């Protein structure tokens, strides 16, 4: 092993990953979580929250484009967007590539995290925080959703997993999704980052799916591989009404503006065929998920 500083991430009780660190931009704690922003030899600039990798320069575009664009293209005319979490600003960046958007509201509980990302990782937001269409709110997402009196076209849940004592435990429950359902417009779309989609640790992915199915008439799970996570990653797309998800080529070409916030590097209109094609083990896992509730929330355990 080469000498130097190594970041050791405990993934589970049975697995851990090690990363060689070339530079430390920030290491510290906020009232909500531990934050490390470092330069990794293999991944480039990388963000770790509570010692778990969240985003890396080498492939953050894969995660963020996969999270945002299937949901945005599923809505016929998305104008008002709500992002829950998304501290780095890259989810916001991808939303603003859609020229239909009039207002994008981002709600994150950790103001210090957002400011640190803007300072040390400006490539992620690429000017999105300064857009006239952007509204930044620093608040608890559950509190914000419960008091919201606006309707949204698309809501994007870009939250950390529901770790014990973490800030996200009650942001994946049936009660929370019921409130989201009520503040979506009639063609409303919700997308939820849903954790690992590997053959062993897929219970969270299945739980999100099962919980959403209790609230929404149509839920479409999908996945892709994230190099820096060392894992296939899952997402769940929930629609307020059943509708065709096929993307019109002209609509896609006219919708995406790649001039200001950067070009697409992962997502294209034919990619959905692959993203929404699940292997058999994930189909089987979905049937074994359980509904997460406020009284019995899902807590991610290794």
- Could you say which of 36, 108, 158, 272 is catalytic? 158
The residues near 70 (Cβ < 8 Å, ≥ 6 apart) are 191, 222, 235, 237, 267, 272, 275, 276
CB-CB neighbours of 223 under 10 Å: 25
- Sheet containing 5-12: order of strands: 5-12, 15-29, 34-40, 44-49, 52-56
Alpha-carbon distance values, 173 to 68, 155, 180, 296 (Å): 21, 15, 11, 9
Helix 174-183 crosses helix 203-213 at what angle (to 10 degrees)? 50
Task: Please give the Cα distance from 65 to 93 (Å, whole number).
Answer: 10
Answer yes or no: 158 catalytic: yes
In this structure, are residues 238 and 71 in contact, taking their beta carbons and an 8 Å threshold? no
Give every CB contact of residue 14 below 8 A, 6+ residues apart in sequence.
Answer: 302
Which token pair is 135?
């509204």
User: In angstroms, rounded to a whole number, what is the distance separating the alpha carbons of residues 185 and 80?
Assistant: 10
Give the residue numbers marked as catalytic: 158
């Amino acid at each position: 092993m080469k000498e130097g500083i190594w970041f050791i991430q405990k993934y589970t009780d049975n697995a851990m990953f090690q990363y060689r660190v070339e530079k430390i931009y920030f290491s510290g704690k906020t009232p909500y979580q531990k934050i490390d922003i470092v330069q990794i030899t293999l991944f480039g600039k990388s963000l770790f929250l509570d010692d778990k990798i969240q985003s890396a320069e080498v492939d953050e575009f894969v995660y963020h484009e996969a999270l945002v664009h299937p949901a945005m293209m599923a809505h016929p005319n998305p104008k008002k967007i709500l992002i829950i979490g998304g501290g780095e600003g890259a989810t916001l960046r991808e939303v603003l590539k859609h020229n239909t958007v009039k207002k994008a509201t981002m709600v994150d509980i950790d103001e210090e995290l957002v400011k640190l990302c803007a300072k040390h990782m400006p490539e992620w937001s690429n000017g999105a925080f300064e857009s006239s269409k952007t509204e930044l709110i620093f608040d608890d997402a559950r509190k914000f959703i419960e008091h919201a009196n606006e309707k949204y076209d698309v809501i994007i849940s870009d939250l950390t997993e529901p770790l014990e004592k973490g800030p996200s435990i009650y942001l994946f429950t049936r009660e929370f999704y019921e409130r989201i359902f009520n503040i979506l417009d009639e063609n409303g779309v919700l997308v939820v980052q849903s954790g690992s989609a590997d053959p062993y640790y897929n219970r969270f992915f299945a739980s999100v799916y099962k919980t959403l199915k209790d609230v929404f008439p149509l839920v479409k799970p999908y996945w892709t591989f994230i190099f820096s996570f060392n894992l296939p990653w899952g997402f769940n797309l929930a629609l307020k009404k059943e509708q065709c998800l096929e993307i019109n080529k002209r609509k896609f070409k006219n919708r995406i503006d790649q001039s200001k916030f950067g070009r697409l590097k992962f997502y294209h209109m034919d990619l959905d065929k692959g993203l929404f094609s699940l292997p058999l083990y994930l189909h089987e896992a979905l049937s074994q998920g359980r509904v997460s509730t406020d009284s019995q929330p899902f807590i991610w355990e290794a």
